[in-house]
Amino acid sequence: MKDALDPERVFALVVGIESYQVSRRWSLPGPAHDAERFADWLTSTAGVPQTNVHVLVSPLGQNHAGAHQPATHEHVSRLLFDELPKCDGDLLWIYWAGHGYVDPKDQMLLPCTDATASRTRHLNLSAALRWWRSSNVPAGRFRRVVAVSDACRVETRRASALKFGADEPEAGDIDNERRQLVLLAARPGQAAKNDPERQAGQFTHTLLKRLTGLSVDESVENLVEIARAVQMDFQLMTASGQAWQEPEFVIERGWNGSSLFGDCWAEKTADAVAGPVGAAKLDQRAWTELGSLFPSSSLPAYTYDAYRWAFEVTGCAVPPGEVLPADHLLDIVRDLNGRQGTQHGLPLALPFVRYLAARAAKTAADWAAEADAWVDRTRERLDTAPVPAPPDRAAERPALHVRLWSDDGIRYWTRMWLYQKAFESVWESGEPLELDAVRVALVEQLTARRAHAPSRVEFHVPYELLEEPFEAWPIPWRGSRTTRLGCGYEVVLRCPDEREGLAEGPWHRKWAWLKAQGDRHPQAVREVCDGDVSEQLGSLLQESDPPVVVLAEVAESVIMDTLDAVLDGGVPIAVWRRPADLQEETAESIRTALAVDAGTFEVRTLPGRLRSAQIKRRSLALMWDDPWRLPERQTLR
């Protein structure tokens, strides 16, 4: 009979990260609490001395997680590769809760709390395990390592804004006698569900229910059975719509030397699960009809919105990254059809198509009717739950469009339209006007519509007027007080005359791509600095669908060269500094001034963000050239 594992010779690194320097949007309530719970199990029923358990947590401000050091890259590396290897132990537990990614080599990358977009400090868990299996660890110590990761396994290609870089500690000679078992919360490409209200990761919560009451020796010797049980738990939760991730358990060889590869035991337990796993799959008839319904290779507007809503309406976790899984509707449906965790027996493909139909009802009524009919036929044939109606889009507030063009570059013919659902011509000049007279006419139009005031003013201008600070125009406000136009309204500039001819194609293509992506994508925004400005910049911006937004962090001398490249490249949106802002010695970056995170954000919020920056006295200009929103192009003469 073998000797029991001595808890005194067990050590652990326990990490829970809720806050990251990358962005406030990375906040993740729960991992710090999970780390505390896992450490409590180790030091209570498992019997591991508290001095052997090293806890690093970075909680959110409102969460209490004890007096522990933060989970910075420095602290993680010091403990894992310096202090713990010097300990005289038999078993090391590594527990990590937080965000996670997998690189093209299927290596698990776990960002630390001090990760930023430009330098995403992280632990390469796969490389760390190779290190611990090598001669770097003194002979006779830590013959077993158990690693538990309650983190997503999103592909790094979906987070192109992050810069992970190489972080692979060099392993020594591999010791084949060392045993390692890795428990992962999800398969590659999947998200790990986190419950902010419970402040618990679903995987950790399920695993701890299986570990509760077990000694450290019982837990380690029965880890394979525990892994099988946790996977079965998730299969049952998936069948009832409570989960969608598929935990993966990897062990090279069991503690007794027998071989167990990958998660092959999952197949042995699948038959034991009562009821169907997940919702019904689409049948051949549904696929055949979809082939006729989706003949076009281009994605319609709101495709990502439809994709996201399909998960939300079925109570599933939305895949992280805020990107579509493919560039064709049929491939997106294939992705949805393979997802797990839908509620009420409703395949994700049905609400996806229903949403697309609802958005196309006004612009492509026949297609929308066919799509709705497909949903109804498929639902009835597969006997699924009813498909709810998609939510209505928020009503759009009116905008005042001001078009200016000139014969002499001094005075400008002017026409104004009010837009809300359709363009209504409201004013035109009988002769060319100087800009001061245009401003007076604009104020008259804004004043005449106090009860239903527009929220935005869009200036359609010739190229040379891009240098005119329309957003700084003074307008009367209260009594004898004035304010800047950009403080009272969203102000955007447009240059549609520069989009004619062959340049029109890329402009339309990029805007269509942005709308299909739901106005958000990790690659939608690109910063351009002085060193980027060249004769080739326009071609570089034009060669692919992204970027659609350029933040021009350039000197005054090359602003117009940058805007030339933006127009040549078909980029519809750009932000640049006015000379007054460039003269500020302590001026923030454009990204900081607009509160635009390094990750994904909703591009549609840019006009509002610019107005907030104007209120804070930041002199920024915004080109917002929507090719789908143009008034009639007739002259006044």
Q: In the structure, what pLDDT confidence band is assigned to residue 397 with cuts at 50, 70 and 90?
A: confident
Report the pLDDT value the prediction gives residue 307, as an integer from 0 to 100.
Answer: 94
For residue 256, pLDDT over 60 is answered with: no
Q: In the structure, what pLDDT confidence band is assigned to residue 221 with cuts at 50, 70 and 90?
A: confident
CB atoms under 10 Å from CB of 212, counted, come to 13
Q: What pTM was estimated for this model as a whole? A: 0.63
Tell me: the pLDDT tens digits for 73-96?
A: 999 999 999 999 999 999 999 999
Give me the phi and psi of 358, to 5 degrees please. -65, -40
Q: In the structure, what pLDDT confidence band is assigned to residue 587 with cuts at 50, 70 and 90?
A: low
Buried b (16+ CB within 10 A) or exposed e, 129-150: bbbbbbebbeeebbbbbbbbbb
Q: What average pLDDT does range 13-28 have in this prediction?
A: 91
For residue 459, pLDDT over 60 is answered with: yes
Report the pLDDT value the prediction gives residue 437, as an integer from 0 to 100.
Answer: 97
Give me the residue spans of the domains in the chain: 8-225+247-262, 284-382, 399-624
Q: In the structure, what pLDDT confidence band is assigned to residue 396 with cuts at 50, 70 and 90?
A: confident
For residue 100, pLDDT over 50 is answered with: yes
Q: Which of 330, 343, 235, 336 is nearest to 279 (CA)?
A: 343
Give me the phi and psi of 288, to 5 degrees please. -60, -45
Report the pLDDT value the prediction gives residue 633, as an integer from 0 to 100.
Answer: 61
Tell me: the pLDDT tens digits for 600-622?
A: 678 999 999 999 999 998 999 99
Report the pLDDT value the prediction gives residue 123, as an integer from 0 to 100.
Answer: 96
Report the pLDDT value the prediction gives residue 378, as an integer from 0 to 100.
Answer: 94
| Residue of 546 and 168 predicted with greater confidence | 546
| Least confident among 83-87, 228-232, 504-508 | 228-232
Q: What average pLDDT does range 255-263 have in this prediction?
A: 42
For residue 99, pLDDT over 80 is answered with: yes
For residue 120, pLDDT over 90 is answered with: yes
Q: Are 100 and 152 in contact (CB under 8 A)?
A: yes
Report the pLDDT value the prediction gives residue 195, as an integer from 0 to 100.
Answer: 79
Buried b (16+ CB within 10 A) or exposed e, 546-565: bbbbbbbbbeeebbebbbbb
Q: Which of 469, 474, 465, 435 is nearest to 582 (CA)?
A: 469
Query: Tokens in use for 489?
Result: 């309204």
What's the rounded Cα separation, in Å, for the pair 198 and 190?
Answer: 21
Q: In the structure, what pLDDT confidence band is assigned to residue 261 with cuts at 50, 70 and 90?
A: very low
CA diameter of the chain: 103
Q: Are 472 and 619 in contact (CB under 8 A)?
A: yes
For residue 417, pLDDT over 70 is answered with: yes
What's the rounded Cα separation, in Å, for the pair 151 and 219?
Answer: 21
For residue 267, pLDDT over 50 is answered with: no
Report the pLDDT value the prediction gives residue 166, as an integer from 0 to 100.
Answer: 82
What's the rounded Cα separation, in Å, for the pair 352 and 355?
Answer: 5
Report the pLDDT value the prediction gives residue 394, as an integer from 0 to 100.
Answer: 81
H or E element in which residue 401 lies: strand 399-405
| Residue of 599 and 110 predicted with greater confidence | 110
Q: Which of 168, 211, 198 is nearest to 77 (CA)?
A: 168
Q: In the structure, what pLDDT confidence band is assigned to residue 409 with cuts at 50, 70 and 90?
A: confident
Mean pLDDT of the chain: 87
Secondary structure of residue 492 in the 3-state scheme:
strand
Query: Tokens in use for 533?
Result: 């400005």
Q: What average pLDDT does range 576-583 have in this prediction?
A: 86
Give me the phi and psi of 429, to 5 degrees please. -85, 145
Tell me: the pLDDT tens digits for 542-553?
A: 999 999 999 999
Q: Are 193 and 27 in contact (CB under 8 A)?
A: no
What's the rounded Cα separation, in Å, for the pair 403 and 400?
Answer: 10
What's the rounded Cα separation, in Å, for the pair 212 and 165?
Answer: 38
For residue 637, pLDDT over 60 is answered with: no
Report the pLDDT value the prediction gives residue 341, as an integer from 0 to 100.
Answer: 46
Secondary structure of residue 266 in the 3-state scheme:
helix
Report the pLDDT value the prediction gives residue 259, as an integer from 0 to 100.
Answer: 40
Report the pLDDT value the prediction gives residue 635, as an integer from 0 to 100.
Answer: 45
Report the pLDDT value the prediction gives residue 82, as an integer from 0 to 100.
Answer: 95
| Least confident among 246-250, 308-312, 626-630 | 246-250
Matching CATH number, 8-225+247-262, of 2.40.180.10, 3.40.50.1460, 3.40.710.10, 3.40.50.720 = 3.40.50.1460
Q: In the structure, what pLDDT confidence band is assigned to residue 269 with cuts at 50, 70 and 90?
A: very low
Cα 512 to Cα 332, 519, 624, 628: the distances in Å are: 17, 10, 14, 9
Q: Are 223 and 286 in contact (CB under 8 A)?
A: no
For residue 266, pLDDT over 50 is answered with: no
| CA 260 from centre of chain | 36
Helix and strand numbers, DSSP H then E, in the chain: 20, 23
| Residue of 320 and 368 predicted with greater confidence | 368
| Residue of 159 and 407 predicted with greater confidence | 407
| Residue of 77 and 584 predicted with greater confidence | 77
| Residue of 315 and 303 predicted with greater confidence | 303
What's the rounded Cα separation, in Å, for the pair 282 and 252?
Answer: 37
∠ CA 13-19-22, rounded to 5° = 110
Q: In the structure, what pLDDT confidence band is assigned to residue 489 with cuts at 50, 70 and 90?
A: very high
What's the rounded Cα separation, in Å, for the pair 125 and 199?
Answer: 24
What's the rounded Cα separation, in Å, for the pair 555 and 170?
Answer: 43
Q: Are 211 and 48 in contact (CB under 8 A)?
A: no
Q: Strand 122-124 to strand 108-111: parallel, antiparallel, or no bridges (unpaired)?
A: antiparallel
Encoded amino acid at 17, one letter:
I
Q: What average pLDDT does range 110-135 have in this prediction?
A: 93
For residue 276, pLDDT over 50 is answered with: no
> What does DSSP assign to residue 70?
-
Token pair 């699924």: residue:
384
Q: What average pLDDT does range 206-217 have in this prediction?
A: 91
Q: In the structure, what pLDDT confidence band is assigned to residue 346 with cuts at 50, 70 and 90?
A: confident
- What's the per-residue H, E or C state across 219-260? HHHCHHHHHHHHHHHHHHHHHCCCCCCCCEEEECECCCCCEC
